Amino acid sequence: MRVLILNGPNLNLLELREPDLYGGRSFDQYLMELETFFEGRVNISYYQSNSEGGLIDYLHNNMDRFDGVVINAAAYTHTSIAISDAVRLLSVPVIEVHISNIYKREEYRHHSFLSPVVEGVICGFGLDSYRLAIEALFNRV
Amino acid sequence: MRVLILNGPNLNLLELREPDLYGGRSFDQYLMELETFFEGRVNISYYQSNSEGGLIDYLHNNMDRFDGVVINAAAYTHTSIAISDAVRLLSVPVIEVHISNIYKREEYRHHSFLSPVVEGVICGFGLDSYRLAIEALFNRV
Amino acid sequence: MRVLILNGPNLNLLELREPDLYGGRSFDQYLMELETFFEGRVNISYYQSNSEGGLIDYLHNNMDRFDGVVINAAAYTHTSIAISDAVRLLSVPVIEVHISNIYKREEYRHHSFLSPVVEGVICGFGLDSYRLAIEALFNRV
Amino acid sequence: MRVLILNGPNLNLLELREPDLYGGRSFDQYLMELETFFEGRVNISYYQSNSEGGLIDYLHNNMDRFDGVVINAAAYTHTSIAISDAVRLLSVPVIEVHISNIYKREEYRHHSFLSPVVEGVICGFGLDSYRLAIEALFNRV
Amino acid sequence: MRVLILNGPNLNLLELREPDLYGGRSFDQYLMELETFFEGRVNISYYQSNSEGGLIDYLHNNMDRFDGVVINAAAYTHTSIAISDAVRLLSVPVIEVHISNIYKREEYRHHSFLSPVVEGVICGFGLDSYRLAIEALFNRV
Amino acid sequence: MRVLILNGPNLNLLELREPDLYGGRSFDQYLMELETFFEGRVNISYYQSNSEGGLIDYLHNNMDRFDGVVINAAAYTHTSIAISDAVRLLSVPVIEVHISNIYKREEYRHHSFLSPVVEGVICGFGLDSYRLAIEALFNRV
Amino acid sequence: MRVLILNGPNLNLLELREPDLYGGRSFDQYLMELETFFEGRVNISYYQSNSEGGLIDYLHNNMDRFDGVVINAAAYTHTSIAISDAVRLLSVPVIEVHISNIYKREEYRHHSFLSPVVEGVICGFGLDSYRLAIEALFNRV
Amino acid sequence: MRVLILNGPNLNLLELREPDLYGGRSFDQYLMELETFFEGRVNISYYQSNSEGGLIDYLHNNMDRFDGVVINAAAYTHTSIAISDAVRLLSVPVIEVHISNIYKREEYRHHSFLSPVVEGVICGFGLDSYRLAIEALFNRV
Amino acid sequence: MRVLILNGPNLNLLELREPDLYGGRSFDQYLMELETFFEGRVNISYYQSNSEGGLIDYLHNNMDRFDGVVINAAAYTHTSIAISDAVRLLSVPVIEVHISNIYKREEYRHHSFLSPVVEGVICGFGLDSYRLAIEALFNRV
Amino acid sequence: MRVLILNGPNLNLLELREPDLYGGRSFDQYLMELETFFEGRVNISYYQSNSEGGLIDYLHNNMDRFDGVVINAAAYTHTSIAISDAVRLLSVPVIEVHISNIYKREEYRHHSFLSPVVEGVICGFGLDSYRLAIEALFNRV
Amino acid sequence: MRVLILNGPNLNLLELREPDLYGGRSFDQYLMELETFFEGRVNISYYQSNSEGGLIDYLHNNMDRFDGVVINAAAYTHTSIAISDAVRLLSVPVIEVHISNIYKREEYRHHSFLSPVVEGVICGFGLDSYRLAIEALFNRV
Amino acid sequence: MRVLILNGPNLNLLELREPDLYGGRSFDQYLMELETFFEGRVNISYYQSNSEGGLIDYLHNNMDRFDGVVINAAAYTHTSIAISDAVRLLSVPVIEVHISNIYKREEYRHHSFLSPVVEGVICGFGLDSYRLAIEALFNRV
């Protein structure tokens, strides 16, 4: 199973983002653990961009290369109709994840334009949200 | 690890609820599969009630018997402050699950009184949401 | 035709509820008149509970025993998503009734979670609302 | 008992209006059945207009000729304060009816300017709503 | 000075409208008093219609015959953009009047589509509101 | 007839306030004209304060000295519940006036806490609003 | 192709309506130009009414005489559910037009009850909006 | 004087509820102090339930046994119309109390369905709120 | 214990304010009773002002002279952020009281800027609210 | 006449976007038809970007090369103030188009930040919306 | 350059106001530093009042004595239309300042009635906000 | 002191943007004046991008090179949560500036996602807002 993890703005500097919420680890460190965990079962690709258009371009250009997508659109979750339109174009299952529990944070983080167009949502488990999402994809694909 | 699965109103008749959304399986059938899956790793208890007060009573009376709780409060998710107050009393991690993707349904199902008081939320993966929640508890406990 | 009349909270003390709105008669007195009126045509069952969960339990457990349901969920009309989910599980026609004209009362009584899941609504005719609902069921069943 | 049935805009072409909701019968056909049903008991008059002012004029000019009114103001239900002011002028009981269950339709059909000024509301029983309304008038007059 | 008094829906039956608010007098009786009061100073024309379109037609067709307009659009005050558009077409001063104090009544009577397009508003003085409006026109014309 | 004209904040500098809306005349100049106009018929008192409490104190202390009150609370119209509570204490008729048409101005000037507690409202006739209000008091007292 | 142009309230006096927005031309003058433009290709009928009911009556009575409808309901665009219900009854394509750009005007002109029931919307091109609508009908019919 | 103290959901575990807000004392401990304090003056009964229906049942069944009621409906304060309907049925004075100052907590705890149907509200004095409520009942009964 | 009772606008004329709500007694009469009641236990000071600024000045200038404050800000409760900022400056406990049950009155009296900055709220017990507040202070100081 | 067609996010994959709404044709195919249609009359340039900033950059850099712009900002229509600010900088006429009728889709697609800054809007005619927009530009340039 | 610093309610006790936000310095101490800083360049006058009317009176009476005004209306920023009307009367530039960053505080402090009528706003720099405002006035006067 | 001035969309064409609001000067011209003004005291860097992602990338990549940031995010101020998340990652003080007074413009420009995460806000002083922001940074760094 080929899975794309697509990360949105500021997740490239995860280690700087409020350590209480995010744990102070870089995403690259976590990615290596994840690859080890799923070794032999899942082929994980990773793309991060701070640009709304960049995320859409990547989805368009790599559509046929994956069996499932795990997306953490970060701040764009709450403001981007364009990314949710791009997700609708995909024919493979897409899962929305959040590292922190967005319902414990500012009210403007409670609404997601992605949720109505994805399979399911996993939120609040720290970086483990990504692992759970890949587990979920297994059951779907 | 001892886990409580707590199900809210109408989930006792899951097999009748809109089969498109819920798959037409009874929860008891699923529970047996789940116990098999986690055999030797997790001891699963199950309680269902159609009564808001009944769910609270059960949580109060069994508080010390579990290492984690997976709660699907169904319709009470959206209307019960009392259950979310009961969840706050627990000292073990609690995970909110939904079988269907609530963001694809009526607007009044988009708000949850539970989300701000639980560890995390897993929603939209059919009955597999429960399995993922137990996997998530493993990483926490 | 077997019809269930299901009454929600405080309707057991109808004779005490604002006599201007409700007429000061007890529901039991009315029920006897109703049975006389429909004698030979309809078999009327009656259940009342002050508990949201109790109403749901009764519907679940007696689902197969009726050809139609007349429901006056009283205050739960405006607050219970759980009861409306239970009504959705039924395969027989359900009719929502109100004794008083809810649109002449407090604004929070103007919205009903039941209305979108029932066949029709009859409201404002005093206790006669129940008789009209049973007449309506005749045309449906 | 003399009853006026007052129908609002587009109900003259009932047979064309979304047959799923309205059943594809013309109102004139139904009216004949209704007259047969109530023969000897009720004298039914009928007036339909697509004009808000036309409906008000008719009510003003015929006020003294009826013992009760059954009104389906159709779209004007939701937009006309003027018709509800005209209804307030009447001293006989007025009943609001709707053919379809307006709570299953667009949100802007959920509010009625008529409901707070009528005796009661009957909605969702197809054309049978009119018959039930006349039954209800019997108990009032 | 030639003044048009333009009355909206239900004002033809003023004597029936909630006598507490309106005084139980017919508008025709009042009109005669008004003509006497302004005799020699003002030529008063009067038009009433229950139809939104009828009021607009009258304004269009008689535009050049008056030096000022006193308008009580009654219920259309709160619902008709069309009448306010017609008022904008006039080049003579227009004054909005209300017999009752609309701010003591239902909330939906507090907003007026006319107010932003007229010279001024006089409200709450019973039928005397009309006399005051004509006095006001004197100072303007 | 003894009438109090009570003016709120900034009306002491009427001549400076946006001349397009207010005409560039001082209120004192206007007051003299008004006294001349009503000479022999009305005894006019005048009080202005920029202080919410000052306006209330004046009403309390002079309650028994007038047969009617004309109040232009200016900005306090829209923000002061305290002044409207003071007006409720009066047993003589009170009329609310505005020089400009407040419905042509900022949205926050469209709501008045005074309107529901006064006899009537006169707005938009420039300084002539005051004269019309005194005329209206004549008919009431 | 037979096309009906249906104009709503105040458009009969287009030449008087805010010349900046509408250009000071009468609709009749424009209609002649339009007929010349489409000569031999389209048979244009025209109907205007200031009455909501009048517009509905015309649509009902002439339903079968046209291959397409161009509707500018003017102020009724924003207030009439009844006209949008009438449009739904038609089986030919209907196009909504506006002379001015309604999104540059008052907020209450931004919502249209017609838009969800028509083929498409053309707005802001002055009288040329009508010509474009007929061009659009060509592609549809 | 016979007084009923009626406590809603989760108050049975008061000693666990956020000790900063509630003081870490159990309600039973407090009750004994209260009985000592009012010894000889007031006969205090106590009932607690986590069930909305249970609270209503208790009120219905014990209506005649008390001269006054002190109610802390906890979370049901904000969600239960049914309990407020039950309170309306009582003919003795009812006082609403809250241990914490609900206006310092989440916004959804600021609205109470009970407040408009009780004599008065006492909130924010810790457990002392109950004593003050009984003192208040003395002055009423 | 030295207690300040601080009363806001119009409470100096309590005897005139809607006697049904306030009992027709003057506050000075009540104050004497209160002093008698607490004689030897509490030293009561009293200040009333109709001015928002006057109330703030008094609090600033007398801050050190009291062990607790009972405040009934009347209409300013609902409109004054400035008074609530002044209350925040105090280091002694402050209790908000209302004579009438504000939740039975106009909606704009349901929100209080004071509640989130005081110890607790007592409302609806008539003048007895003040006595209860002083009792509450005893337990705090 | 030189016209720029500027397309926003996901329109590069038009052929994949919900074929029911968009017809399953690629935009490039349509563009060729369009060029043929306007051959000799209009010189059409085309630019598409998935990036908000990319669309703005293109407008800035090519401002002087066109006599008119046809813009379909797709999802950015509803979220981008930045693009509407860029459109304001242009001195040539700009027309907003939409392929589908946005008023038949999700509520969040009903509001456009572009509409108040463009000449006019054409929406709902499928790809033909572009042709109509160019026709409209002809009449303007 | 003559500058007026006008401070609103509670700023006379700045040293007591939440020291974390305001730094625990009195405004008088700061004023001396400010005068030293601008010595020879600016003549600074200072007025503070806790009274809305007092602030307006001061502005009215001293209008001609300053070349610019720096206003911190504190709580009145959010509630006073009267002060913003007074500011409009001034012909010299006025600058709104806030010591704390009001956007980090309660939501009701986010809206300012002053902002739309002043030159500019400076907020969040502690007491330094005043110095920056005077610098800004230099560039304007 | 090293300061970054970060400008958002369309500010590269400042000279074209509504000259009344912005003064018709290019930002580059202003930047040279600013560098001269602060010569020897501040080292000013400048970056502008029309892309949300581009602004975030620049902040991420240059984080360590500045002692303070002055940000004018233009339209992104009101729509970008992503940029405000990036600002939170910075450990140096950030100041938000606006050239025009955004509170005099469209309502959708009144809310800023940046304000709650910056030190302070300076708005409405034309290009001088930037100079004031750098002066403010001096006092902070």
The answer to whether residues D3 and D45 touch, using CB atoms and an 8 Å cutoff, is: yes
- Give me the pLDDT at residue C136, please: 97
Helices (DSSP H) in chain F: which residue ranges? 19-22, 27-37, 52-62, 76-79, 81-89, 128-140
Alpha helices in chain E (DSSP H): 19-22, 27-37, 52-62, 76-79, 81-89, 128-140
CB atoms within 10 A of CB C29: 12
Q: Which of E99-103, H98-102, I14-18 has the lowest mean pLDDT?
A: I14-18
* pLDDT above 80: residue G73: yes
Q: What is the helix (H) or strand (E) element at residue D2, kind and residue range?
A: strand D2-7
Token pair 């667009």 is at which residue?
D106
Q: What is the pLDDT of residues I79-107, one digit of tens each?
A: 999 999 999 999 999 999 999 999 999 99
Coil, strand or helix: which one is B83? helix
pLDDT of amino acid J72: 98
What is the spatial distance between Cα K54 and Cα K50, in angstroms, rounded to a whole number? 7
The predicted-structure confidence for F3-48, as pLDDT tens digits, reads as follows 999 999 999 998 877 677 666 778 998 999 999 999 999 999 999 9
Query: Pick from L51, L56, L113: which is nearest to A10 by CB?
Result: L56
Residue L92 in contact with partner chain A when CB distance is under 8 A? no
Nearest-CA distance from K25 to chain L in Å?
A: 16
Token pair for D32: 């004949």
- Cβ contact A92:A69 at 8 Å: yes
Q: I123 CB near a chain H CB, below 8 Å?
A: yes
Beta bridge partners of residue L44, listed in sequence order? L3
Place of tokens 């006092």: L139
DSSP secondary structure of J106-134: -GGGS--SSGGGSSEEEESSTTHHHHHHH
Nearest beta carbon to residue J135 from set G119, G120, G132: G132
Residue F46 identity (one-letter amino acid): Y
| Per-residue pLDDT tens over the stretch D30-88 | 999 999 999 999 999 999 999 999 999 999 999 999 999 999 999 999 999 999 999 99
* Lowest mean pLDDT across G100-104, G112-116, J27-31: J27-31
Chains that touch G (3 or more CB pairs under 8 A): D, E, J
CA distances from F120 to C132, E106, H81, K66 (A): 46, 16, 38, 42
pLDDT above 80 (res D23): no
pLDDT tens-place string over residues I30-77:
999 999 999 999 999 999 999 999 999 999 999 999 999 999 999 999
pLDDT of residue J83 exceeding 70, the answer is yes
DSSP codes, chain A: -EEEEEE-TTGGGGGGS-HHHHTT--HHHHHHHHHHHTTTT-EEEEEE-S-HHHHHHHHHHHGGG-SEEEEE-TTHHHH-HHHHHHHHH--S-EEEEESS-GGGS-GGGS--SSGGGSSEEEESSTTHHHHHHHHHHHHH-
pLDDT in tens, E5-42: 999 999 999 887 767 766 677 899 899 999 999 999 99
Tell me the C-alpha distance between C126 and J135, whole Å.
Answer: 63
Eight-state DSSP code of residue I123: E
pLDDT beyond 70 at L34? yes
Nearest by CB to I132, from H112, H118, H132: name it: H132
Q: Which pLDDT belongs to residue E82? A: 98
At residue A45, φ and ψ (nearest 5 deg) are -110, 155
Q: What does the pLDDT average to over I15-24?
A: 71
D49-to-D95, E96, G71 alpha-carbon distances in Å: 18, 29, 22
Report how far residue K19's alpha carbon sits from residue K35's, in angstroms, rounded to the nearest whole number. 23
Q: Any bridge partners for residue A122, and if so which?
A: A97, B122
Mean pLDDT, chain J, integer: 94
From CA K110, how far away is CA K102, in angstroms rounded? Answer: 6
Chains G and E touch (3+ CB pairs under 8 A): yes
For residue G21, the model assigns a pLDDT of: 64
DSSP codes joined into one string, E28-42 = HHHHHHHHHHTTTT-
Does the beta-carbon distance from I119 to H139 stay under 8 Å?
no
Phi then psi dihedrals of residue K116, to 5 deg: -70, -10
- Report the neighbours of F using a cutoff of 3 or more CB pairs below 8 angstroms: E, I, K
CB E74 within 8 A of CB E7: yes
Provide the phi-psi class of A106: left if phi over 0, else alpha when psi is between -120 and 50, else beta.
beta
Which residues lie across from A123 on neighbouring strands? A98, B121
| Diameter of chain C measured on Cα atoms | 41
Contact A74 L86 (CB under 8 A): no
Tell me which chain F residues have a C-beta less than 8 angstroms from the C-beta of K53.
9, 49-54
Nearest to C89 among B17, B49, B52 (CB): B17
Q: How far from J113 is each of B44, J23, K53, CA to CA, in Å?
A: 53, 26, 41
pLDDT (tens digit, 9 = 90+) per residue, H10-63?
999 988 776 776 667 789 989 999 999 999 999 999 999 999 999 999 999 999
Distance from CA of J4 to the nearest CA of G (A): 19
- D89 near G CB under 8 A: no
Q: Say whether G10 sits in a helix, a strand or coil.
A: coil
Per-residue pLDDT of chain C (141 residues; tens, 9 = 90+): 999 999 999 999 988 776 776 667 789 989 999 999 999 999 999 999 999 999 999 999 999 999 999 999 999 999 999 999 999 999 999 999 999 999 999 999 999 999 999 999 999 999 999 999 999 998 877
Contact assignment for L52 to A49 by CB distance below 8 Å: no
Which pLDDT score, from 0 to 100, does residue I95 have?
A: 98
CB-based contact (8 Å) between D81 and chain E? yes
Q: Is the pTM of this model over 0.80?
A: yes
Catalytic residue positions of B, numbered: 22, 98
Q: Please say whether the beta carbons of B120 and B136 come within 8 A.
A: yes
Query: What spatial distance separates the first Cα and last Cα of chain C, rounded to whole Å?
Result: 8
| Contacts (Cβ under 8 Å, ≥6 apart) of A63 | A89, A90
Q: Write down all domains in chain I, each with its CATH number in brackets.
A: 2-140 (3.40.50.9100)
The candidate with the shortest Cα–Cα distance to D55, out of D123, D6, D124, D98, is D6
Residue G107, pLDDT > 90, answer yes
Chain centroid offset of residue D84 CA: 13
Indicate the residue of J12, J49, J79 with minimum beta-carbon distance to A79.
Answer: J79
Question: Quick check: ipTM above 0.90?
Answer: yes
Summarised one tens digit per residue, pLDDT across range L9-27 is 999 998 887 677 666 788 9
Which chain G residues contact residue J135 at CB under 8 A?
A: 132, 135
In angstroms, what CA-CA distances link F87 with F68, F95, H105, I16, I17?
A: 11, 10, 36, 12, 11
pLDDT, tens only, H74-116: 999 999 999 999 999 999 999 999 999 999 999 999 999 999 9
Stretches in chain A below the pLDDT threshold 70: 18, 21-23
Active site residue E78: no
Nearest to C101 by CA among B73, E118, A21, D140: D140
Which one from E30, E58, E76, E98 is the annotated catalytic residue?
A: E98
pLDDT at G19 over 80: no
Beta bridge partners of F79: none
Of L62, L63, L78, give the one whose Cα is nearest residue L9: L78
pLDDT exceeds cutoff 80 at J21: no
- Measured between alpha carbons, how far is C17 from C6 in angstroms, rounded to an integer? 18
**Cβ atoms C55, C79 nearer than 8 A:** no
Helix (H) or strand (E) holding J17: none
Judging by beta carbons within 10 Å of its beta carbon (0-12, 13-18, 19+), is residue A89 exposed, middle or buried?
Answer: middle
Nearest CA in chain E to F134: E132
Task: Please give the share of chain B, as a percent, with pLDDT higher than 90.
Answer: 87
Considering only alpha carbons, which residue of chain J is nearest residue L74?
J82
What three-state secondary structure class fits I136? helix
**Does G121 contact J at CB distance below 8 Å?**
yes
Report residue H56 as tokens: 């209503």
* pLDDT tens, residue order, chain K (141 aa): 999 999 999 999 988 776 776 667 889 989 999 999 999 999 999 999 999 999 999 999 999 999 999 999 999 999 999 999 999 999 999 999 999 999 999 999 999 999 999 999 999 999 999 999 999 998 877
